[in-house]
Amino acid sequence: MSREEKVEKLIEVARSCLGMPYKYGAYLKVNNGEKPDGFDCSSFIQYVFKQVEIDIPRSSIEQAASPLGIEISSDKIEPGDVVFFESTKGHYWHAIFPPGKKVYIGHNAIYVGNGNIVHAADNAVLNPILQGVVEHAMNILPKPAYEIVMIKRFI
């Protein structure tokens, strides 16, 4: 499967999850490919990438620190890239990043093009649209709670 085909399938799978509930700490059923009954942000990313045969770590901080993929600048973002945000919840684990790089990751989403992202959100207090698996313009995420920390390309 070409990169373009993988990205197209990735976005199709991501959009097939729209409307599913947010479920903090959700884990995928071991290697059976079944869609779980809910997602948190990082299990959503893990599930969608698994459908295009890319195995990435479970947690958002480990996804960001993973040697898989490459970090890219925001001006090079393309559909299929994963955007990592600070958010109102999250984790520090500086030891898993290169020396001198301290990163706080609280949320992640898949960029689907035209300024839009698909993600599993649980922050309706900040914005009513931020509940469950949703697609919307990335720029509606409230600042400073959702500052972009990094962008990675896994495909």
Spatial separation of the C-alpha atoms in residues 41 and 118, rounded to whole Å: 10
Supply the pLDDT for residue 97.
65
Q: Model pTM?
A: 0.89
Supply the pLDDT for residue 83.
97
Q: What is the CATH number of the domain that holds 104?
A: 3.90.1720.10
Supply the pLDDT for residue 30.
55
Report how many domains make up the chain: 1
User: String of b and e for 79-100 (b: at least 16 CB within 10 Å)?
Assistant: bbbbbbbbbeebeeeeeebeee
Across the chain, mean pLDDT equals 88
Supply the pLDDT for residue 146.
85
Supply the pLDDT for residue 108.
95
Q: Which domain holds residue 25?
A: 3-153
Spatial separation of the C-alpha atoms in residues 30 and 124, rounded to whole Å: 30
Q: Provide the CA 99 distance to its chain's centre, in angstroms.
A: 24
Which residue ranges of the chain lie beneath pLDDT 50?
none
